[in-house]
Structure 1
Amino acid sequence: MVSAVPGTIIDEIWHIIDDYLQGVLPLENVLNFAFSNRSGKLTITFSEDGTDVTMGFDTPYAYASQLPKTVVAYDDGQSQTIILPSEIQ
């Protein structure tokens, strides 16, 4: 689990998946999310390996430079979690 990411941001990622991605795109078991600064606010950008699809989601949360550059939502078939890319096995 990514301890460097506040729970509100993790909840926002699940909200993006549930409300904007599931049922709209065919999703694999690894979804990439990049964090960036847009006018002081956090933008979360979705991408998936092997596709050209990217979607940016502006959030009401302040951007924090200590956030990791990227995290992934990983589904191993039994559970889903948000982890750092280096934690995928």
Structure 2
Amino acid sequence: MFSTNRSRYATFGVVSAVPGTIIDEIWHIIDDYLQGVLPLENVLNFAFSNRSGKLTITFSEDGTDVTMGFDTPYAYASQLPKTVVAYDDGQSQTIILPSEIQ
């Protein structure tokens, strides 16, 4: 799951609520810090939190106790959603808001 050679997207809801640099940061975390380190399922959770005014992105997967926090250089903004989900359907990958999942 989450091979870098697949098409990648973000839903309208994500693009409307999350700056492109932060969307890119999520793909960067998946590619450089999660792939090859953990066996990834097709649904990855990312929570946004404030750490001393900067954005921390915390990775988790349902059904595991593994979490990893990644501090970013980006300022935290309270209007960010609490979480986003990265979904891999085997052909493409999409970052989506939990409220957009059907």
With structure 1 as the length reference, what TM-score do the two structures score?
A: 0.95
State how far apart, in whole Å, the 2-side matches of 1:5 and 1:12 are.
11
Q: What's the CA shift string for 1:23-64, capped at 9, x where partnerless?
A: 100001110000000000000000000000000000000000
Structure 2, unaligned runs of 5 or more: 1-13
Q: CA deviation at 1:87?
A: 2.0
State how far apart, in whole Å, the 2-side matches of 1:18 and 1:28 are.
14
State how far apart, in whole Å, the 2-side matches of 1:78 and 1:56 are.
27
Structure 1 residue ranges (4+ consecutive) displaced by more than 3 angstroms after TM superposition: none
State how far apart, in whole Å, the 2-side matches of 1:85 and 1:74 are.
11
Matched with 1:51 is 64
Contact persistence 1:2–1:82 (CA under 8 A) = no
- Equivalent position SS for 1:3: helix
The alignment-based identity, stated in percent, is 99
Q: CA deviation at 1:2?
A: 4.0
Of residues 12-21 and 76-85 in structure 1, the stretch that sits farther from structure 2 once superposed is 76-85
Contact persistence 1:45–1:57 (CA under 8 A) = yes
Q: CA deviation at 1:20?
A: 0.3
**Equivalent residues, number:** 89
Matched with 1:28 is 41
